[in-house]
Structures are given as C-alpha cells and as structure tokens.
Structure 1
C-alpha cells in the first residue's frame, strides 16, 4: 500500500542564497510601497466623489486599514532582512514541506521515520531519516 506523507525541506544558507533572499525581500518592499501609493491615489479619487461626512470617514477607515496592513508587511520584511543578515553561513533553514509517496506493508515500523530534504544552492545534498518516537506512545 502507498501512503502520502509530509517531508520537511531545509535550505542551507549560502552567500548566494542570502543575496537572493535579500533581493526578494527588497522587491516585495518596493511592491508594497507602490501599492500604498496606489491606495493613497485611489483614496483621494474616491474622496472627491463623496457627498457625506459619514461616508468620507468610512472610506478613509477602509483605505487606511489597507495601507496599515502593507506597512506592517514592510516592517516584517525589514525584521526578516535583519535576521537574515545575522544568520551564520551554512545554517539550515526550514522552508516548508513537500508530499512524498511511501510504500508501507504489514509489519513495518509505525510511525514512519520523519524525513528531511536538505538543499544547497538549488541542489539536493542530503535526504535524512530521523526517528521521533514518544516513550509512551501517547499523543
């Protein structure tokens, strides 16, 4: 019988990867700043067509909420950049999970050993199996 299980993917931080991550974060920040500019422009445009004070407040609240969301993402991005700068080279960073097919048969050990795929500069360098058993079998 075949089952699908989750496998952790980890990337090794190299100088090349650090530069790529920093560039990606910078691009995201630029995109978010453009979105903020666009939202401010749309806000001004909509305010010109509003006839009541109450409606003006509602529109401002809605747009400022969206602008604040993007500002928070920019701040988060700044924090991530500072963390990436501080990480030592060759640190393994978890970057998510992938699904893997595995053949299981009666008599196999359960739970199955966890696996990790380690990637450096776009190439798989290791596939590890880790055993994570509980002593009492309780969840």
Structure 2
C-alpha cells in the first residue's frame, strides 16, 4: 500500500537564496495589494447596484480585504526576519507530498519519523 505524506523542504540561507526569497515575498505582497485594490473596486461597483444591501457588501468585502492585509503584514514580518537571520540558517520554505510504500510488518515509527529535504542554492543536499 502507498500513502502520501507531507514533507517539509528547508532552505539553507545564502546570499543568493536570500535575494530569491526576498523577490518571492515582494511578488506575493504585490499580488495581495492588487487583489485588495480589485476587491475595493468590485465593492464600490456592487454598492451602486440597486437592490443590494450596502452593509452586507461592505461586510463581505471588508473581511476579504482585511484577510489579505493581514497576509501582507505577515509577509512583511518574514521579510524583516529574513534580513536578521545569518547565512547558514535553515528556513522552512515549502512542503511537498511524498509517496511512501507501506507493507505489513513495517515499523510505523520508522514511517512517521521526521523527514525533510534540505536545499542549498536550488540543489538538494540532504534528504533525511
């Protein structure tokens, strides 16, 4: 039998990986900002529509905009932490699904032990 298990991918921080992560965070912030502006536009458009409750529209859109702004603040915090961390630090950047073969008689503890992949400058250096 095969099972799917999530395995964290950790990246060793170097100058190039720091720049790559910063670019990725900046892109996510820009995307979230565009989404906020688009939602505001859609909100104003719906509020002018007859037969639609302004309060309900405002409540729904405010909730979505607030959620995206919270995500932006979290990413900005991560950016600040990225600047503080020294080179060589391990950061959990992704999570991948791994297909694991399970047979009768296998040790379950061995199957569920902490597994992870370590990446340095785009190259897998350890799979443990």
Normalized per residue, the structure richer in helix is 2
Is residue 10–residue 93 contact of structure 1 (8 Å, CA) maintained in 2? yes
Query: What does 1:9-88 align with in structure 2 at a 5 Å threshold?
Result: 9-51=9-51, 55-88=53-86
Partner Cα distance (1:8, 1:81) in 2: 20
Aligned length: 124
Deviation at 1:89, TM superposition (A): 0.6
TM-score, structure 2 normalization: 0.78
- Whether 1:89 and 2:87 are equivalent positions in the alignment is yes
Gaps of 5+ in 2: none
RMSD: 2.5
- Deviation by residue 1:45-72 (Cα, 9 ceiling, x = unmatched): 11111347xx111111111111111111
Give the whole-Å Cα distance in 2 for the aligned partners of 1:27 and 1:120. 21
Between structure 1 and structure 2, the one with the greater Rg is: 1
Query: 4+ runs of 1 displaced by more than 6 Å?
Result: none
Give the number of the structure with larger relative contact order, counting CA–CA contacts within 8 Å between residues 6 or more apart: 2
If the length of structure 1 is used for normalisation, what is the TM-score?
0.73
Contact 1:9 1:98 in 2 (8 A): no
Unaligned ranges ≥5, structure 1: 129-139
